[in-house]
Amino acid sequence: QAAKSMKDKGFINYFGTQRFGKFNDTHLVGIAVLKGDFKKAVDILMEIKPEDRQDIAKARKDWQERFKYGETKENESTTAKKVLKRLNRFMTGEIAIVQCLAKHPMDYKRAFGCIPKNLRMMFLHAVQSLIWNRAASYRIGSMDRDNVIAGDLVPGEGEDFASRVKVVTPDDVTSNRYNIEDVMIPLVGRKTVLPTNELGATIETIMNEIGVTIDMFKGVQD
Burial class of 167 by CB neighbour count within 10 A (0 to 12, 13 to 18, 19+): middle
Per-residue pLDDT at 21:
84
- DSSP per residue, 78-99: HHHHHHHTTS-TT-HHHHHHHH
**pTM for this model (two decimals):** 0.89
First and final C-alpha spacing in the chain? 47
- Indicate if the pLDDT at residue 5 is higher than 80: no
Q: Report residue 6's pLDDT band, with 50, 70 and 90 as the boundaries.
A: low
- Indicate if the pLDDT at residue 87 is higher than 90: yes
Q: What is the pLDDT of residues 179-206, one digit of tens each?
A: 999 999 999 998 899 999 999 999 999 9
Q: Report residue 153's pLDDT band, with 50, 70 and 90 as the boundaries.
A: very high
C-alpha 45: how far from chain center: 14
Per-residue pLDDT at 161:
64
- Indicate if the pLDDT at residue 31 is higher than 90: yes
Per-residue pLDDT at 19:
87
